Every structure is written in structure tokens, then in C-alpha cells.
Homo-oligomer: A and B are copies of this chain.
Amino acid sequence: MGKKPAQKLSRREFFEKGHLYYLTHLSIDNVIFGFHDNQLKVLLLEWKDTRRWCLPGGFILKGEHIEEAAIRVLHQRTGLNNIYLQQFYAFGDPNRERSKHGIEPPLEVKNKSWLTERFVSIGYWALVEFSKVVPKPDEFSETCQWWDIDKVPTLILDHNNILEKALDSLRRNLNDYPVGRDLLPPKFTMPELQRMYETILDKQLDRRNFQKKMLALDILERLNERKQGGAHKAPFLYRFDQRKYEKAMKQGLRIGLQ
């Protein structure tokens, strides 16, 4: 772990002395996806000063692995541990901070701060179980809440672009690796699995074709149990075969061109 400040820095100290503890020019942005009511969602923060929305992000302690930093930020915002985090891209346009909102230095800070310099931000996405998350705003923000992916407002800096790139990466990931264990409840129906894929891909899929392809992946186990709820023909419940799921996470769903 990095050399942490002995005590929590005030906002002014953070502006004036943060560079003694954190790497300059480098930040982390986390795109935290959840799934609820058949809808893909993303966790956003609202800045106190400007009431503008942003991705939950943070900085990297001098001795900290960048992935540790991403995990720490994720934990601070969601209370969750042991989450699968995927690094997807580093954002390095020198103009990405042109419209830097919400982190103006406090008025009493006279000197140029490390925080007003250029930052290259490393993006991670995570899939988390919606029901287990207790969103927590940080000291710079008013609110922390889930947004439907298709209703996300204009975010600060290049955060809409970062979100878009994270979605691209997640969609591409669907082709190569299994997805769902962290988004769905332990038991789910085939229509629920399909709606998860549909909300991520933002398109309708053919029911029969979807079921055929999913079963062909050989990571699902059909239970001798049907979904409760009084429907005329209740659908079967499935769960992921943990061993096969793990194996597919390591090897990928398609190995090369064989």
C-alpha cells in the first residue's frame, strides 16, 4: 500500500499537499455497472459545488498498485469487496480537462495546485450486484446514485466518453467471456438472462437463437425448479455452473480460430 497521510487531509491540504501522497498527473475513473428491473444502470456522483454529475474516481497513492487504487475507490463508493474490475482504457487527451468542473481550488489556495494540472485517467469497469450496494457520496459530492444507462445526463470533463468506451469494452467482453454472475441473482430464468444481454447490447435478441447460443456455451445448469409467481407457464430456473464459469473466465468462450 502507499504512504497514506497520517490523518485525513482537509480540502485545502488536499489541494496544497496532495502531491506528497498521490501520483501527479494520474487518476482513476470507475464505471460501476449494476442490473435491476431488467435495466443496466451506472453509479454516478453529483458534485457539491456545481451539481454536475460524474463517474466515481480517485487518485493513486505513491506506493499503491493502480488496481488497488481502483478497488479502494470502488469500496469507498459501494461498500463492496471482492469485485471483478476490468481495466479498459487510459484517457490521455491533453484537452480533456478544458472544462474542469467542480474541483476549483478553495479560494484561500493561492498557488497553482497539482489538481489543476493535466491528468491522464485510467478507466476500470466493474459489474456489481445492485441489491448489495449502499451508494456513498464522498466529501466532494452531494449524492451518489444509480442511473439508467440510457438516461445518463451530461457529465463533467470527458466522462460521457469514458462511459461510452466502458460500454464498448463490456459489449466486446460478452463475445469473449461469460457475464452475469455478478449482475443476476443466483437463480434466474432464460428470459431474465436474455434481458440482461439486451440491456447491455441495447438491442432486441431473438429468443430461440439466444437460448440455443447460451446453452451451447455450456456454462449453465438447468434446475428442476420453475420461477414462482403464478404465470400460466412458469419458466425454468437456471444457475451458472461455477466450475465451468471459472474455466470460461480464464480461457475465454472461444479460443482462437479452432
Contacts and interface: CB of A to CB of B under 8 A. Distances in A.
A140 interface: no
Contact of A122 (B92, B206, B254): B92
Contacts of A26: 25-26, 120
B66 A90 contact: yes
A195 to B, nearest CB: 13
Contacts of A258: 203, 205-206, 209
A118 B257 contact: no
Interface in A99-128: 118, 120, 122
Contact of A62 (B23, B118, B172): B118
A256 interface: yes
Interface string A242-258: 00000000001010111
Given A23-B118, A26-B120, A120-B23, A174 B257 contact: yes
A176 B253 CA distance: 13
Contact of A93 (B65, B94, B172): B65
B172 A94 contact: no
A102 B201 CA distance: 47
Majority DSSP secondary structure for residues of A touching B:
mixed
B257 A122 contact: no
A64 to B, nearest CB: 6
Nearest to A2: B94
Contacts of A87: 89-90
A67 interface: yes
A197 B201 CA distance: 29
A210 B90 CA distance: 35
Contact of A63 (B62, B90, B94, B203): B94
A93 B62 CA distance: 11
A257 B205 contact: yes
A252 to B, nearest CB: 7
12 contacts: A23-B25, A25-B25, A25-B26, A65-B93, A87-B89, A171-B256, A172-B252, A175-B176, A175-B254, A175-B256, A206-B258, A209-B258
Given A172-B176, A205-B258, 7 more contacts: A62-B94, A62-B118, A63-B118, A66-B90, A66-B120, A175-B254, A203-B258
